[in-house]
A and B are shown apart, each in its own frame.
Chain A
């Protein structure tokens, strides 16, 4: 209540209860301190975006999409490289769990994260020198067995930590599953070669044609190196145990793709090819079969329909576009033919329990079906070849026994990738192997430095609820589709099927990102605050500050934060550092006494001169 323009007798002047000065008057600021109106305090708290959380190697996806938005492509590339050694590869082959988790998928369509990653990865490969440098040498050497995704990732991270890394690869060419399990029309060999070149630039030695158990013994690994990462993968194909499986013309999925990838294939396919299995390798085999000369390709699966198939839906779609037929609910029980494959004997079959995780029940009493084929490619999974491994480190499931840190007992041996993830429920995908390799590298580093290992923490605050963001800031906008080769033409060529984004497309797609739960320096809070109590030195995440002395807790910034990274924390949750205002608005306690005395003397004062009161 302002006293401006009011005549106040001297004895009733400030400070007197009931008549307080305006904030502009003398002592007004003392009597009307602002602040402490809050019941909640705005706090910047970056949450884990669902894409980052879903990624097998926890790439900072929101971070690099944000950098692409701003045209900082190199920074974006450098950010991916913290977690991912080869974004140009995962930008092509990843099964993108990030896109399944993307909140935008609940709003219109998920962001094409993989395409943006590929754009950045290709940009990085085109640089004359990589942005990543090896760490200062620490004088320790580590062997990494296997140069697939997990081995590549572990070697990369260890080199960045300053280790002298040697990769031991049993094949004539490095790359592991990236080379031997992924066809050229998905991942061109020259891209892989250049990514391996980048790894060698980091100082990693790659020894090909070096097989553990044959060229290097377990004891040599133990004595010659300070530590060792086993990333040997699952290399041996599973058999269907069908009669006549050994006949010429019967092929196995992974060796079929591996021989083509390594350039050592001598296979000549017939016109009619059957593929047994419903997973991603089976799909790659079926599509590769066309490119190797087959005219009719049929995929035979135990799953009763295509939605149950354990594969990436868009790969399935592309496969069907290319003309592969599907035959569901059948198992191959025999390979028929005189001296080579002529037909397959099929019986109705189903999984006895959970799809793909339980034994198969074959109805042998049902009428058999004869399926004419010149070749059959069996792609029903792989297992590891671990003859060289001491028995104590083997599990009953044929994998390497490790603790939660990927370590083999109390040794300096670690294992990563499919060979430990098999049977864990984790999809055996490139990005998950990369994540496994990364985590194992960091754990290995800790062990060699004598630091305690800490279990992986589960992020507790993943934004999955759109109501926690302000959706009024996000107009609906369709997802940009990557161009693909025409289905008819691509059946006969090894050219890459899916095309890259242009720069404009990558930026446009990155612009669709909500930045769920993470400050992307949109400046909204800075602009909308009615008391200007939000300050920043620079427009960047982490540089916004709230002057709590002035904040009234009006919540405008919290409501208007598009991404939900500002949250209202109840004042009572700040139980330390209580800020108490001793001069609550009007009066200090001592004044009451004075006021009382003045009132008591009131009758002694002369009456006011109303006429001449001014």
Chain B
């Protein structure tokens, strides 16, 4: 029986939609493949505050999900960080069984990033993808005045765009799917709005094999 947990760490308001797109698209694709899935967001993190770290969860299982009512992913097999500096902030790998995957949106190399990862021995692989560059995202996160552009993408408000993964979520989804096989690429690709960035990412991943012996142990 295969059961996989994906936790996406992102930042409130300005990058909220990116995190949501990742868990929703992976869950939807898995459902198309006949799996039992869940995707939800975490409200306790106070996601309605700019820059506040917040989490999105996805569960994919071959059978009924036993802990469907628990609010958090206790043992994430895959963790994705939508923003690179989050690598330093929290123990986002807590509860991760050996053989996990960490995906980071960053222009730094995995060799540089691994020094910030808490307990990297749990990881089978560390994947870095420069999603902001691949999605040609020029304005996000850098200038204070520009943050206002994306305020509508938070909870309870109208979405800025209805499309799934129009921006930097697309390369991150490609990284998650290609390196873990949580769903098939051909299932998820039709859902992605920014397919150019999605495809570009498939050949632009920087993967560091941290503890390969543990690879797939968790999935068996």
Contacts and interface: CB of A to CB of B under 8 A. Distances in A.
Interface of A: 1, 17-18, 20, 32, 36-40, 552-556, 559, 570-572, 575, 578-582, 584-587, 589, 592, 595-596, 599
B16 to A, nearest CB: 14
Contact of B108 (A37, A572, A599): A572
23 contacts: A1-B46, A20-B44, A32-B46, A36-B89, A37-B11, A38-B51, A39-B11, A39-B83, A559-B145, A570-B85, A571-B88, A572-B88, A572-B112, A578-B116, A580-B88, A581-B90, A582-B91, A584-B91, A585-B44, A585-B46, A586-B45, A586-B72, A596-B67
Contacts, number: 94
Contacts of B89: 36, 580-581, 584
Interface string B76-112: 0000000111011111101100000000001010001
A579 B91 CA distance: 11
Contacts of A571: 85, 88
A555 B144 contact: yes
Q: Which of B51, B52, B94, B95 has the most CB of A within 10 A?
A: B51
Nearest to B47: A1
A420 B205 CA distance: 57
A515 to B, nearest CB: 22
A301 B107 CA distance: 58
| Interface size classification for chain B | 35 or more
A17 B116 contact: no
Q: Which of A20, A584, A587, A596 has the most CB of B within 10 A?
A: A584
B44 A18 contact: yes
Contacts of A553: 51
Nearest to B83: A39
Contacts of A17: 44, 70-72
Given A39-B141, A595-B70, A589 B51 contact: no
A223 B119 CA distance: 69
Given A36-B53, A572-B88, A589 B74 contact: yes
B69 interface: yes
B204 interface: no
B148 to A, nearest CB: 13
A559 B144 contact: yes
B115 interface: yes
A488 to B, nearest CB: 56
A425 B66 CA distance: 80
B88 A579 contact: yes
Given A39-B85, A556-B144, A584-B91, A18 B71 contact: yes
Given A32-B46, A555-B144, A572-B84, 14 more contacts: A17-B70, A17-B71, A37-B51, A554-B51, A559-B145, A572-B87, A582-B90, A584-B53, A584-B89, A585-B46, A586-B42, A589-B94, A592-B70, A592-B74
A301 B42 CA distance: 80
Q: Is the interface of B mostly helix, strand, loop or mixed?
A: loop
B45 A585 contact: yes
A554 B53 contact: no
Interface in B144-175: 144-145
A599 B71 CA distance: 12
A555 B118 CA distance: 27
A575 B84 CA distance: 13
B46 A580 contact: no
Nearest to B95: A589
Interface string B168-186: 0000000000000000000
A485 B153 CA distance: 68
B90 A575 contact: no
B50 interface: yes
Given A20-B44, A575-B115, A554 B50 contact: yes
B216 interface: no
Nearest to A578: B88
B140 to A, nearest CB: 11
A37 B51 CA distance: 6
A32 B115 CA distance: 26
Contacts of B74: 589, 592
A555 B143 CA distance: 8
A359 to B, nearest CB: 53
Nearest to B46: A1
B43 interface: yes
Interface string B19-57: 000000000000000000000001111100011110000
B118 to A, nearest CB: 6
Closest 5 CB pairs between A and B?
Answer: A584-B90, A571-B85, A586-B44, A36-B89, A39-B85
A598 B197 CA distance: 45
A570 B106 CA distance: 12
A374 B85 CA distance: 79
A572 B89 CA distance: 10
A509 B95 CA distance: 64
A151 to B, nearest CB: 53
A592 B84 CA distance: 27
Nearest to B73: A592
A277 to B, nearest CB: 54
Contacts of A555: 144
B70 A599 contact: yes
Contacts of A581: 89-91
A19 to B, nearest CB: 8
Contact of B53 (A37, A556, A572, A592): A37
A556 B51 CA distance: 13
A32 B54 CA distance: 12
Contacts of B67: 596
A595 B67 CA distance: 10
Contacts of A582: 90-91
A201 to B, nearest CB: 54
Nearest to B84: A572
Contacts of A570: 85
A86 B91 CA distance: 61
Nearest to B49: A37
A209 to B, nearest CB: 68
A1 B43 contact: yes
Contact of A575 (B44, B53, B106, B116): B116
Nearest to A574: B88
A596 B69 CA distance: 9
B65 to A, nearest CB: 13
B101 to A, nearest CB: 19
